[in-house]
């Protein structure tokens, strides 16, 4: 039985935000924009030559798929509300934080903003085709999100990470309220078939582009369910179309998650699980779930790595939000370095030498990365 006092305490811990999600992402960009520029900037022809670290900075557009019911046909704010509706598609035009010169959020003033939402009458295949041969970063939001917040966070993550493909997001009908956790959970699960249709369209696309998935919090539930169906339907072909899969602060029952990974079998490419053992939002979720641990604040990393996941542990990283639930967005600022480290793999020089660290990691190895966020080390735990 769940104690009311425990829930009240949990709600008190997450009832305020010291900083908005997009304000946090601007701070992320401040540390990461220069890194991205140094390695992968491209020159854009215009009246005045401008450098951009990401495609979305040069072409500020997010492709959107949503199961929210349209408001005023999707043409007036809030565009898509909290009620459930049929799968809708839209092209969202944005205004970057800075309209001149360097367009990083770190250098510009203000925030990303939605300029215009253009509902699309076509099919999912037509939306995917807009990426042509470019890769797609697909963001799936979590608990307490509006349509607008999901779009703007997707844009900021893509920009801060210096992503060179197109940016897309899937938005399910969250009520965006602190006390709507159960309702949000039901709406997320209700949307899983629609999200599976999105991934199915990627698989059927004739383009050679790949889709990289970043799923946050409650959005990881529907992502995992959809991936299970896609891998069952397409087998090894799914690995050719689906690139990196990042589960950030996963709000999933730890036993359910392990069971799903076992059904996948050892993946050709590891899934990335970003967690923090001081996540206050997941403390609330665990309380509501009757004390069952969520993946995002799990201490049992050994079996996750044995099943093919690579764990990125941000416990030691100080959060800039009150809940410690949005730490994952800070990884965007060091994405180029992190990609390089993961691509090179774990070498003998990276392996933990401390007995206590080896004991914690079990069959895996804790990696001492030359990488810090807000002055704290990032730990990666991977199977060796």
- Domains of the chain plus CATH, in order, are 4-383 (3.40.50.1820)
Q: Residues 43-79: pLDDT tens digits?
A: 222 223 334 578 999 999 999 999 999 998 998 999 9
What pLDDT, on the 0 to 100 scale, is given for residue 230? 92
Alpha-carbon distance values, 346 to 197, 226, 332 (Å): 36, 30, 21
The confidence score (pLDDT) of residue 18 equals 34
The whole-number pLDDT of residue 321 equals 62
Q: Are 246 and 338 in contact (CB under 8 A)?
A: no
Q: What is the pLDDT of residue 261?
A: 80
> Which pLDDT score is estimated for 358?
40
CA–CA–CA angle 40, 209, 263 (5° rounding) = 110
Q: Look at residue 71 and give its three-state secondary structure.
A: coil
Question: Can you give the pLDDT at residue 71?
Answer: 95
Specify the pLDDT at position 141. 95
Q: How many Å apart are CA 39 and CA 234, to the nearest integer?
A: 36
Residues of the chain with pLDDT under 70: 1-52, 98-110, 278-292, 296-297, 318-327, 329-330, 332-377, 383-384
3-state SS, residue 319: coil
pLDDT given for residue 322 in this prediction: 60
pLDDT at 44: 26
Q: What is the pTM of this model?
A: 0.77
Q: What is the pLDDT of residue 102?
A: 44
């Amino acid at each position: 039985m769940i104690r009311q006092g425990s829930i009240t305490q949990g709600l008190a811990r997450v009832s305020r935000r010291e900083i908005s999600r997009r304000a946090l992402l601007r701070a992320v960009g401040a540390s990461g924009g220069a890194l991205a520029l140094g390695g992968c900037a491209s020159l854009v022809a215009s009246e005045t030559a401008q450098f951009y670290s990401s495609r979305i900075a040069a072409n500020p557009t997010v492709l959107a798929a949503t199961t929210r019911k349209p408001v005023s046909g999707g043409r007036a704010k809030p565009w898509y509300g909290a009620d459930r509706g049929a799968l809708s598609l839209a092209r969202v035009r944005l205004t970057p934080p800075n309209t001149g010169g360097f367009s990083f959020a770190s250098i510009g003033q203000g925030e990303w903003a939605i300029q215009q939402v253009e509902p699309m009458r076509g099919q999912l295949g037509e939306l995917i085709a807009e990426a042509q041969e470019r890769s797609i970063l697909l963001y799936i939001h979590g608990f307490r999100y509006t349509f607008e917040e999901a779009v703007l966070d997707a844009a900021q993550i893509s920009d801060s990470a210096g992503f060179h493909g197109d940016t897309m997001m899937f938005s399910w009908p969250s009520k965006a309220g602190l006390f709507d956790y159960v309702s949000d959970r039901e709406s997320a699960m209700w949307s899983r078939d629609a999200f599976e249709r999105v991934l199915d369209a990627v698989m059927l696309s004739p383009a050679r582009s790949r889709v990289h998935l970043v799923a946050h919090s409650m959005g990881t539930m529907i992502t995992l369910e959809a991936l299970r169906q896609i891998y069952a339907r397409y087998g090894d072909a799914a690995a050719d179309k689906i690139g990196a899969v990042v589960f950030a602060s996963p709000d999933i029952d730890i036993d359910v998650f392990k069971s799903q990974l076992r059904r996948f079998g050892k993946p050709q490419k590891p899934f990335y699980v970003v967690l923090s053992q001081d996540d206050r939002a997941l403390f609330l979720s665990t309380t509501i779930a009757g004390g069952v641990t969520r993946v995002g604040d799990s201490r049992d990393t050994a079996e996750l790595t044995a099943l093919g996941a690579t764990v990125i542990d941000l416990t030691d990283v100080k959060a800039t939000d009150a809940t410690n639930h949005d730490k994952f967005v800070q990884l965007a600022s060091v994405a180029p370095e992190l990609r390089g480290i993961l691509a090179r793999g774990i070498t003998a020089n990276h392996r933990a030498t401390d007995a206590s660290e080896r004991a914690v990691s079990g069959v895996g190895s804790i990696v001492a990365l030359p990488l810090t966020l807000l002055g704290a080390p990032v730990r990666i735990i991977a199977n060796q």
